[in-house]
Amino acid sequence: MSGNFLGKALIVDDEIIDRRTLKTLLTKLNYETVEATNGQEAIDLFKLEQPTIVFMDIMMPKVDGYEATRQIKAAAGNRFIPVIFLTAFTDQDSLNQCIEAGGDDFLIKPYDPFHLQSKIQTMLRISLLHQKLQGMYSRINREQEIAESVFTNAIQISNIENPNIQNCIRPASTFSGDMILSAYAPSRDLFYMIGDFTGHGLSAALGALPVSEVFRAMVSKGFDGEDILTAINKKLKSLLPSGMFFGTQLVVVNHDLEHARIFNAGMPDILIVDGLNNTIKHRIKSRGLPLGIVESIDPKDIVRYVPIKPNDRIFMYSDGLTEARNQNDHEFGEQRLEQAILGAADNNSFKQIFTDLDAFCGTTALADDVTLVEITCVHGLFPRTDPEYISQSRKERHEDRGDWSLSMRFNGARLRETNPIPILMNHIVELEGAHTERQALFTIMTELYVNALDHGVLGLNSSLKSDPSGFASYFEDREKKLKALDSGYVKFDIAINKSDRVRNITIQLEDSGDGFDYKNYKASSDDLALSGRGILLLEELCDSLQYFGNGNIARAIFSWNTE
């Protein structure tokens, strides 16, 4: 701006006398002026001259003052450029039209110098406040962007990247109240969680950090889904304010693609699509409250064991997807979602869902965060087993010396309340530093324990799992017997012997069951029973596997080279 002018005023009026009068008054108030005789000329001059204030007549040729103001306000963007309407009308309808067009004040003809000066001073104060607010908003927005970047990296950077998993979060604001967490357990099972905190934005996202910490720490140590959800609920109940909670879906996909264990607490249905005929074969509805509401939960009440087959697809989503609205205030809804899933070309449902959602919503902004996950159940979903777990253990042995041992017995009710495997694994890994052997050791101990608990203590028959209906019956019977369990035991005896280069771990489990005829039993690769496959896997991983007593004592020896 040239000279020492207070500002530049654009005067828009088709009457030359009115323009000259206003120009004289503004010059006395130390304003530089430019003039336009109609609305279109005003729009062009505004873009060229960049005035700091506009005085706009209403009735003009070509483009009237209302339309010119709308276009000037649009061109100003985030800048506050006051528009004062020049009018002889004082009726309410005319003044309302000025306000609706974007006007900030009125100046009644004929002009009064005192009124003109007071209105300009008012607009200057508003303009200064607007500049301060814009500066504050810019700083806050920048800080939120930085925080969001750090926040997202802290939570999302460790998630699994696999071509058989597609996922997306569309936040309704800078911060998302939705979250996605994924990790492989030592057993190679896939743990996949999505969650939705109350509301959205920064306040909704604050709970994501503690959830992420608990999830990753417990999955890596081999805890099951029930333990993880119980710990997350306890953490959130102690942290979240009243009225804030966390809806969540947790899917645990078995690495053999035999079943998935699914938890749904306060979220929309989880959909499982049959990979053979492209139909929805399971809808897993919510069976529990969102986390963080009550002091204690029992995830065993909400877990579902669902048989799966290769190429089945699992869809998880937040309610922001189905509750997204268009300009007519209609919801996207479950029907449109399912049509997109089942009607997509080449089964590219993930892309089709967002294509249909964007077409439905148009320019209407999202009112809530939208999260969508598609998991394709194929063997490439899981990490490969490291062959060194087996090959390194069969090298020449040296004379061993005893190092340490432990014995633990879990009785009755303790068996239904505690998963002992993560506890024992932590001892072994911490004492031996057996991080590279963790997966193999976890698999061995889990197979031994599941056989001891399911077939020994609970007396379950694995042949039930030969078909989908029997599979469901097996796990229903398992949960029923486990809840009623008040007797029986599983005893662990673990011993480590080591030389300079070789570690030998002996893992012996004894259960209170009737055992089996192990002397005449021979598992084959064609045996479809889970226990048969478990024995085959144990024989492959271990240096030796023996049974004693009536078959209720199993002793496995596993070795690894420390060089």
CATH for 158-381, among 3.60.40.10, 3.40.50.1580, 3.20.20.70, 3.30.1330.10? 3.60.40.10
Structure tokens, 256: 């053999």
Q: Distance of CA 438 to CAs 154, 404, 426, 542, Å? A: 25, 18, 10, 14
The answer to whether 40 and 66 are in contact (CB under 8 A) is no
Say if 158-381 and 388-561 have the same CATH topology.
no
pLDDT tens by residue, 223-268: 999 999 999 999 999 888 888 899 999 999 999 898 999 999 999 9
Distance of alpha carbon 101 from alpha carbon 65, whole angstroms: 9
Answer whether residue 323 shows pLDDT above 60: yes
pLDDT tens by residue, 457-486: 999 887 776 677 777 788 888 888 988 888
CATH number of 388-561: 3.30.565.10
Q: Which residues of 310-341 are buried (b: 16+ CB within 10 A; e: fewer)?
A: eebbbbbbbbbbbebbeeeeeebeeebbbebb
Distance of alpha carbon 324 from alpha carbon 402, whole angstroms: 65
Q: Which amino acid is at 221?
A: K
Answer whether residue 524 shows pLDDT above 60: no
Answer whether residue 523 shows pLDDT above 60: no
Instruction: For domain 7-132, give the fold.
Output: Rossmann fold (3.40.50)
For the chain, the structural domain boundaries read 7-132, 158-381, 388-561
The answer to whether 354 and 372 are in contact (CB under 8 A) is yes
Q: Distance of CA 79 to CAs 74, 118, 137, 247, 507, Å? A: 10, 22, 13, 41, 73
pTM: 0.67
Model pLDDT, residue 498: 77
Total residues belonging to the chain: 563
HSE (side-chain half, CA atoms, 13 Å) at 562: 13
Structure tokens, 415: 């068996």
Model pLDDT, residue 390: 42
Q: What is the mean pLDDT of residues 22-28?
A: 91
Distance of alpha carbon 18 from alpha carbon 543, whole angstroms: 102
Model pLDDT, residue 151: 63
Strand partners, 492: 408, 509
Model pLDDT, residue 82: 93
